[in-house]
C-alpha cells in the first residue's frame, strides 16, 4: 500500500505512491491530507473574515462633546472634529481644531497591522502605528523632535454613536491622560 510513518502519540501519516497525484493519508480513518489541509485553510479564512466583520465601524465624521471630555488641565479646543477613514488595513484620521492650544487641520495616516509609518504634520516628522486590541483601536504616535508620544485607545459605545479616545501622553515633563468623547455626525 505504501509507507506509514508514526508521528505524535500514535497518529500516522501514510504515503501511497499508487494514488494519482501521490496521496497522503492522516490517521487510521484514511482521510486524505489534502482534504484536511483544505478544511484547515477554509476555517482560517472564515475566522479571519468574521474577525474583521466584528471590528467596530469607526468610519465617519465625529464632533467633540466638550461636556463629556476631560483634558486633564490642558487647554481644551473650543471645537474639534475627527474624520476617520478605515478600509482594510488603511487608517486615515483628519482632525480639525479651533481654539485652545492649537488651531488647524492635521492628517495622520497609519496601517492597522502594527507596522510603523512615517508622515509629516506642518513639516515635523512623525512616526506612528495602529493595531486592533479586541474592539478597541490603539494608535501610537511619536514626535521624536520634541520627545512626545501619544497612545490613543479608541472605542465605540454599544450603539456606535459615541467614540471615546483615551489618550496617554508621555512628555519630558511627565505623563498625562486625556479623555476625548466624540458624537457621530
In this predicted model, what pLDDT tens digit does every residue of 50-109 receive, in sequence order?
A: 445 578 999 999 999 999 999 998 889 999 999 999 998 999 999 999 987 678 999 999
Instruction: Dump strand ranges (E) for 112-173.
Output: 117-121, 124-133, 136-143, 148-156, 162-171
State pLDDT tens for residues 1-43: 444 444 444 444 444 444 444 444 444 555 555 555 555 555 5
Grid cell 465617519 is found at: 60
pTM of the complete model: 0.71
Fold of 60-184: Lipocalin (2.40.128)
CB 51 within 8 A of CB 43: no
Domain boundaries, the chain: 3-53, 60-184
Cα separation of 33 and 22, whole Å? Answer: 11
Phi, psi (5° rounding) for residue 74?
-80, 150
Angle 6-11-17 from CA coordinates, rounded to 5°: 60
Amino acid at each position: 500500500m505504501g509507507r506509514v510513518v508514526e508521528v505524535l502519540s500514535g497518529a500516522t501519516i501514510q504515503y501511497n505512491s499508487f494514488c494519482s497525484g501521490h496521496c497522503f493519508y492522516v490517521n487510521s480513518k484514511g482521510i486524505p491530507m489534502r482534504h484536511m489541509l483544505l478544511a484547515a485553510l477554509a476555517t482560517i479564512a472564515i475566522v479571519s473574515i468574521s474577525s474583521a466583520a466584528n471590528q467596530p465601524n469607526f468610519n465617519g465624521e465625529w464632533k467633540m462633546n466638550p461636556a463629556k471630555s476631560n483634558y486633564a488641565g490642558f487647554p481644551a479646543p473650543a471645537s474639534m472634529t475627527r474624520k476617520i477613514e478605515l478600509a482594510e488595513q488603511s487608517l486615515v484620521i483628519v482632525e480639525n481644531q479651533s481654539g485652545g492650544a492649537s488651531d488647524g487641520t492635521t492628517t495622520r495616516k497609519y496601517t492597522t497591522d502594527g507596522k510603523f509609518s512615517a508622515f509629516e504634520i506642518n513639516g515635523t516628522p512623525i512616526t506612528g502605528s495602529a493595531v486592533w486590541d479586541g474592539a478597541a483601536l490603539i494608535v501610537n504616535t511619536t514626535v521624536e523632535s520634541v520627545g512626545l508620544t501619544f497612545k490613543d485607545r479608541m472605542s465605540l459605545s454599544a450603539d456606535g454613536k459615541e467614540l471615546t479616545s483615551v489618550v496617554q501622553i508621555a512628555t519630558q515633563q511627565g505623563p498625562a491622560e486625556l479623555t476625548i468623547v466624540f458624537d457621530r455626525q
